Structure 1
């Protein structure tokens, strides 16, 4: 007798697999699927709520706690509780240097273009690992609610995310045990949720206004023949509902004449005030006065005062809308639809200002917290082939990339990218005076090139001899409709150029592709661990080289003790580099960085002082 599985959650016949849509947000994340009635639906697992706060806490044992349970630790243990990790995805320290005070946890500063790392509980984490923890929680909730394995997903990102940030999002999915079928722009997903773009005959220009907890962006999209094109995007990655909360907190501090110095020391009180301000903001969407007490502090504010406090920030967002229109070379009359996304668009004043600017009522019928995830679920349904009315363009079956230091695979065109497509990245040299660069092209999903399929290799010759890090080498991949890949390398300062054509999918059976994909998920954890160890070693070796060179060149500006201590730190790092312990290498790298940072500033001060006197010192 054949057994038929029934999904107890939905009452429908059990499917082998469901492809879900995931909105990986700065403040909150959520997951959606297409229900048996063919409608997109968000998942609320066992009444925990639809929204999973994008917060990760590490306890004393180093175990990760994610979501609602982790949120409480923002007050009690802020140093080991990570929030807003999306802002750090695919970013170097230089990208976030001006915003370090926004985070209560330690971001490692190595003053290079290397991607940021976060220290919590004595360990070092990348934003990819932390995002993977959030995705694992979403995966677990979806599987529990649907009683079905969830191994494949569409994940959304802001339209302004660059290639590095998109790849980091893919890597986070893979580390969480999810095959990321497509990275979709959030404004595209929101438009799909409203049915915009599902009709192939529809031609529209849409403005998507997305104001979340920590970020704001506006995107102007053109839809033709079911294809979404981002005409322009504008915004501020450090503007959102959190600023509304902060404005209320500052208002209460002034009204209650609170000592700002005491508040700076009292992290718990500041967090409590912030949470009270958040409650006030939400309440003022439906009432005219908020009046509560926090200990001896009166937390009172009326709607008119609140709106006057947030007006400058809302005006900033409207200015961004005007700039986005200018960038797209369009006027307000060219916009056919306006879509609201993000919880902060619930504030009536925000909605009113958007409507006034665009001269039309925006779409806000769908919950603005859920609209992106619901659109991602629709995109997942399209990819699953369940919508026969929508044509799926050809996609590349496996990722294409090049080999970088330590035998790592750096993906340039991710799998499932639409064909034809083009993408590129910029690289530099790692050794002083390097004049040639070997470029090896690979196809596959594993982190080490040794596990992937080599397609071609060529050499870029004649790079001008310069110090390491100075040459700028663009490597571009162009994949045409016939599946021919052209790889081009060009050194921008000199114009030296080389290119090669390869056919990436030649000789690969469907079974081989499938095995490569399964292996990439099976070995994701060990692959990422290996990648991180190699990256830590590369970074450590580079720092040893730089520090020794600095002593040789500028030793006269250092005391004997400083030189001695620097050498001790270098030796400690050298010893760590021989061990397979990533955290130990990063710890020693961090210590050497911290100790030597003032030296570079000292040399710079001397250089500036000498220049002011009309003298000069040796340059590197």
Structure 2
């Protein structure tokens, strides 16, 4: 049985790990980095790049370089977070036929699960290259506060990538698993997870292989990207003051600013001041303009303090839901690259009354925990029990548009709940079931997950029919709902699927397109390798002809020169089969030069020997 890898599918960066001899190990990519940018870029000729090479395209190709796609997972186009995202990125966010938020690049529309699948596929390739074997299964992590639609969209991404997602686990839970895998004594742990695009806080009890989540809260649209955007606004404002030029409509300039903002933020985690230099950021009739400014850590902290403070509300909510006080927490874990910021660490210490634990790598610990869960599923390590919770309440819409909760938030999953409802109108022939997720009292203020009908039901006065509604939430946090007419036994079931606008047929089509892309990529790689081999052989052959023409028979030289010309032509045409044939032909004829040269040398040596005798 092959390895089950662990993948942390992040907003900014992704990480992959596996378990070796009972210990989780992070797998470096081809560039030697232990994390890979969650970035996909598309070129005009149809080439697709993923990871570091895609991120480097951000400035030169901003409209077709997709980043932070995780922020659009499971969102409708008109959702407020999707609207904020549209104004913060250079690429185009479009409305799908189903009303969801998709992206467009080089004239092609992509759903968020499709882009995420490309990142997942890249992480699988990283693992396969390192392990030297095929990888088909993975445990993938998601933010604890992801709703059902976002979790289902992540599973769809795995399916598109050709990965069997064995489990979806929450990022804070995965981090706690990596931290406390060998923990025997009971501990209460708070996991503060501030990543590139999302924030989670989870309170867990860990004891002897049991990881029990007591409460979770968060914000799926709060993270390092927001800090970067706030700093970009500051730099844009400074440049306008000094030059009079507004950069808001210059997407290339904004992308350059974003890269510098991210770099400055990182530098200010270890220094008190940094310089920002962006030459030729704009131009007017007087000539080119440059952005040159200094930024102090204290200035950055003033800019982003409100964003960091927004993480404390969910922290209080989670502690209240768990029925705990700060002094009840034994350890505070910091997860996510943004927690390297000194201000974040001081805010966390102030809230919990103790310094956070820094013995785990915030960028890698989630993938390591996912890998441990994968290893536990196949018996590679001692079995662990993860008792996670549903982050938001689940229920149905009832009369007057009221949201009736069947499963309260922070209920341990998997779980099941059922309740009997009735009709509101005489002789009602069907019962509409509207499934929602959220905490507001009115249905319209919560997240709609699905709508279906139980029909037909026997005509009867209002209040007489008995309709039993059952909610099932599996270990991945994915919801199944059924409605049953207790009078007739008629039942209707629905698996709540992602709000990604993707049907099973869509997913199958996308998988086929991904396979075609893979074939195209393989052909491109083969062509590049053949071109490299051809250029190397052309160089050595042309040099051999130039240096050894006098030592080689004329017919051999003529043949080699003809074969050189033929290979040059094939390389320029770009036909892989023709290059391969011409390459093999030149290899044979060039070998004759070597034979002739060695023969000439042997004859000279023999002649010298006879002269001496």
TM-score tier after normalising by the smaller chain length: 0.5 to 0.7
Find the aligned partners of 2:263 and 2:468 in 1 and give their Cα distance. Answer: 49
2:373 aligned residue (375, 379, 385): 379
Quote the residue 2:201 is aligned against: 218
Quote the residue 1:571 is aligned against: none
What secondary structure, in the 3-state scheme, does the structure 2 residue paired with 1:41 have?
strand
Greater RCO structure (CA 8 Å; 6+ sep): 2
Quote the residue 1:247 is aligned against: 230
Quote the residue 1:108 is aligned against: 94
Mapped pair 1:188 → 2:168: no
TM-score normalised by the chain length of structure 2: 0.63
Quote the residue 1:52 is aligned against: 36
Q: 1:388 to 1:127 in 2, by over 3 A?
A: same
CA deviation after TM superposition for structure 1 residue 118, in Å: 2.2
Mapped pair 1:338 → 2:332: yes
Quote the residue 2:307 is aligned against: 313
| CA shift digits 1:194-241 (9 cap, x unpaired) | 125x55x65433211111122222222344664444433333333222
CA deviation after TM superposition for structure 1 residue 368, in Å: 0.5
CA RMSD of aligned residues (A): 4.0
Quote the residue 1:460 is aligned against: 455
Q: 1:478 to 1:278 in 2, by over 3 A?
A: closer
- Please list every run of 5 or more consecutive structure 1 residues that lacks an aligned counterpart in the other structure: 1-15, 394-417, 425-432, 440-457, 465-472, 503-523, 534-620
Q: 1:154 to 1:250 in 2, by over 3 A?
A: same
Mapped pair 1:172 → 2:157: yes
What secondary structure, in the 3-state scheme, does the structure 2 residue paired with 1:75 have?
coil
Find the aligned partners of 1:177 and 1:463 in 2 and give their Cα distance. Answer: 45
Tell me, yes or no, if the aligned pair for 1:20 and 1:152 is still in contact at 8 Å: yes
2:109 aligned residue (105, 120, 124): 124
TM-score normalised by the chain length of structure 1: 0.62
Matches within 5 A, 1:23-422: 23-36=8-21, 38-95=22-79, 96-99=81-84, 100-109=86-95, 114-195=99-180, 198-199=182-183, 202-223=185-206, 226-256=209-239, 257-258=241-242, 262-295=246-279, 296-388=290-382, 390=384, 421-422=415-416
1:529 aligned residue (502, 509, 517): 509
Q: 1:258 to 1:292 in 2, by over 3 A?
A: same
CA deviation after TM superposition for structure 1 residue 24, in Å: 0.4
Q: 1:97 to 1:486 in 2, by over 3 A?
A: closer
| CA shift digits 1:46-98 (9 cap, x unpaired) | 33411111111122233321111111222222222211111222222233443
Quote the residue 1:512 is aligned against: none
Q: 1:499 to 1:241 in 2, by over 3 A?
A: same
Quote the residue 2:282 is aligned against: none
Indicate the structure (1 or 2) with the bigger Cα radius of gyration.
2
- Please list every run of 5 or more consecutive structure 2 residues that lacks an aligned counterpart in the other structure: 280-289, 388-411, 419-426, 434-452, 460-466, 494-503, 514-613
CA deviation after TM superposition for structure 1 residue 139, in Å: 0.7
What secondary structure, in the 3-state scheme, does the structure 2 residue paired with 1:133 have?
helix
CA deviation after TM superposition for structure 1 residue 303, in Å: 2.1
Q: 1:106 to 1:330 in 2, by over 3 A?
A: same
